[in-house]
Amino acid sequence: MVQTLILYGAAALLLLLSFRKDRKKTVMSLKGAKTMGISTVPEIVGLLGIVSLVLTILPPEAIRSALGNESSTLSTLIGAAIGTVTIIPAFIAFPLSKQLIASGAHLMAVAAFITTLTMVGFATMPLEISHFGRRFTILRNLYSFIAAILIALLMGVIL
C-alpha cells in the first residue's frame, strides 16, 4: 500500500516538474507511456487470466502433496519446477510455504520453490521475449533456474 502511494506520488510529482519545464516533452512522455500500455497490457491481462485459470484447476493442495516427497533432492527439483511454471502472488506464496513446511515438505524444496517463483517465469516468457529477444530470455531463465537450485542446496547445508 505504502509502495503504491510512493510510486504514484513520484510519478505525479515528476510529471508536474516535467510539465513546468517543457510541455512538449511531457506530452511526448505521456504518449510513450500510453504506447507502452497499449502494447503490453493486453498480453499481461491475457497471461494473468491463463495463470488464474491454471491455479484454479491446480489448487495449492496439489502443490503441497508434490513437495512432501520422500527424497529431498527430488522435492527440491519439483519445487523449483513448480515455482517456474506458476506465478503465485506473494500473499498466497508465503502462507502456502509455511503450510508446506508444517506438513513435512523439505526446507530446501520450499526455498527452491520461492526462489524460482519470483526469478524464473514460464508464464512471463512471451513478454520477456518481446522486450529482449529469445536468446536473452531463455538464457536468463535457465541461469536463474540453476541458481535457484544452488541456493536451495546451500540452504540445506547451512540451515
94-123: contacts with other proteins (CB under 8 A): 94-95, 97-98, 101, 107, 110-111, 114-115, 118-119, 121
Closest distance of CB 157 from other proteins, Å? 10
The answer to whether residue 13 forms part of the interface with other proteins (CB under 8 A) is no
Cβ neighbours of 78 (radius 10 Å): 20
Q: Round to whole Å and give the CA distance between 36 and 65.
A: 41
Q: Give the interface segment with other proteins, choosing from 50-58, 62-70, 71-79 (CB under 8 A).
A: 50-58
Closest distance of CB 31 from other proteins, Å? 4
The answer to whether residue 85 forms part of the interface with other proteins (CB under 8 A) is no
Q: Which of 16, 71, 104, 133 binds other proteins (CB under 8 A)?
A: 133
- 43 vs 71, which CB is nearer to other proteins? 43
DSSP state of 84: H
Which cell numbers hold the place of 72? Answer: 529431498
Q: Give the interface segment with other proteins, choosing from 38-46, 62-70, 76-84 (CB under 8 A).
A: 38-46
Contacts of 83 (CB under 8 A, 6+ apart): 112, 113, 114, 115, 116, 117, 118, 120, 148
* DSSP H or E segment with residue 134: helix 134-158
Contacts of 149 (CB under 8 A, 6+ apart): 76, 77, 80, 112
Closest distance of CB 81 from other proteins, Å? 18
